[in-house]
Each structure stands twice: as structure tokens, then as C-alpha cells.
Structure 1
């Protein structure tokens, strides 16, 4: 028996978390398990990752790597060659589309194809304004001058 969680109460008391709730809703849905092409995800450092996909038989022109906001899309497709009749076909060559959900501020650094492996290096770069910063503790409000709001000055 499968039950879906109801996130409606959280929507009433949180602002700006729509993306997180959408990810949780999508993860709950039953999706067909697609195992081709096989891939690895490797964490290279604190803010760097690598996706390696086995795409034997695909040329660079057969592959397309696109990043749209927080989704990385890897597509592959090639024209069928009619060279004869296959008695056994074990080398995968069907078209595919693989999607990877990316965290905020993650972008593709490089994508390379070598020895039938597509390597995509990703890096997360958090803007300076969003990084933690140390707040200097100053004097109490009694000794500090009061803040004053200035009106716009018009030059005549």
C-alpha cells in the first residue's frame, strides 16, 4: 500500500520553498526505472561533482547536454543504419534522455567525451552575498549615534 504525503499544511506557513515541495512531490510519484545509459555520480570536493555516463557507440555530434535553471538534460540519439539484419543486438544505441536535478548555483564547468564515456563536471558557486559572514559586535545603542533617514536631495 502506497500513501502520498500531504504537504498542504506546510504551504500555509512557509514562503519561498515551492521548489523543495515540488521536488518532494515528484519523488513520491511512481516513475519508470530507466537504467540506460548507466552513469556514476562522483563528489570531487566540497563544491565539485562529476557525472560519468557510458555512451558507447555515440559520437560527440549524437549527444546534447543542456542546463535549464536547476535541471541538467543529457540527450543522445543517432540515425539507424540499415547495414543488414541483426541476429543479436547487444550494444545499446537507442535514443535516450536523462535528467538530473541540480541544487541552486550549480553549473556545468566542462563536458568531455572520451573512450565511450561522457564526463560532465559540475561546480557549485555560491554568490558572496549568500555566503555566511561574520557580524562585528559593536558598541551599545547608548553610545552609538542614532541612525537618521535622509530625504532625497534635489539640486536646483
Structure 2
């Protein structure tokens, strides 16, 4: 069963037009698990993607963030120094790849580093003021965002 009916969910929600597309993307699965990666939550609003890219140089890796999609591309190039290497066994995979990650609207890429064959990409969640929770007063003044957060912490 590859199709889902989201009509009951969408009746009481607003602004989830991309939900069907995201679920299709998730259920499709990934055919290739190369290169392996980890996604870790470093703190409340900070994340890190660590990708094992052994054998690649910094020049062979590209990171692009566009339209809520983070794309990591590796281009395998042969050495051009004239030294042709003959492998008896080649267990370290070095082949071209492209890995995509769907990012939420509030996730921003803050940096990347490459150490010991691991490509680390730092992400942070930044919720704009207009998206933070606020209480709507009925026939009165609206409290500030700080007052709403203070009330939640007291509860």
C-alpha cells in the first residue's frame, strides 16, 4: 500500500499543502545508502549531519542549500599526477554521489567542516517572532510574547 488518503487530516488543517508530497518522498525510501550519514540533535535548536566521505577531498565535495533542500554532492576524480595506482583490493568506496535532505522552513545551514573523513554540516532552528506562540486576547489587549512564555514556564 503506497497511497494514503489525507482528506480527513486536511479538513481541520490550514497550510499543509505539501504534506502529500513529503509523505510520498518519505515512503519512497532510499535505494542507495552511500555514503552513510548520521543526523544528531546537538542542543534544543542545533543539529548536525555527519557524513562519512572517506577518500574525498574538500574540492570534490559540494554543499548547496536552496528552497528548503540541502544537497550534498561528491565527485570522484582520479589523480592527475601521472601516478596510476593498481589496487589489489579496493574496500574504500569512492564513487560519485548526491544526497538530499528536506529542511523545514525554520532550519538554516550555519556552516560545514571536513575532518578525518567526516563531513559535518551544522544546522540551527531559528523560529521568527511572527511564528512563535502567542495568546490572542478576546476583547482586550494582546499580551506580549514574553508574557506568554512566562505563563507557560509557570504552568
Report TM bin, short chain: 0.7 to 0.9
Q: Deviation of residue 139 (structure 1)?
A: 5.4
Q: Which residue of 2 aligns with 1:150?
A: none
The change in CA–CA distance for 1:139 and 1:43 in structure 2 (over 3 A counts) is closer
| Alpha-carbon separation, structure 1, partners of 2:6 and 2:136 | 36
Q: TM-score, normalised to structure 2's length?
A: 0.76
Higher-helix-fraction structure = 2
Structure 2 unaligned blocks of 5 or more: 142-155
Q: Which residue of 1 aligns with 2:110?
A: 109
Q: Which residue of 2 aligns with 1:41?
A: 39
| Alpha-carbon separation, structure 1, partners of 2:85 and 2:55 | 17
Q: Which residue of 2 aligns with 1:19?
A: 18
Name which of structure 1's ranges 22-31 and 11-20 shifts more when overlaid on structure 2. Answer: 11-20
The change in CA–CA distance for 1:122 and 1:30 in structure 2 (over 3 A counts) is closer
Structure 1 unaligned blocks of 5 or more: 141-156
Structure 2 counterpart of 1:55, from 49, 53, 56: 53
Q: Deviation of residue 9 (structure 1)?
A: 6.1
RMSD: 2.5
Q: Deviation of residue 8 (structure 1)?
A: 5.4
| Alpha-carbon separation, structure 1, partners of 2:23 and 2:17 | 10
Q: Deviation of residue 112 (structure 1)?
A: 0.5
Q: TM-score, normalised to structure 1's length?
A: 0.76
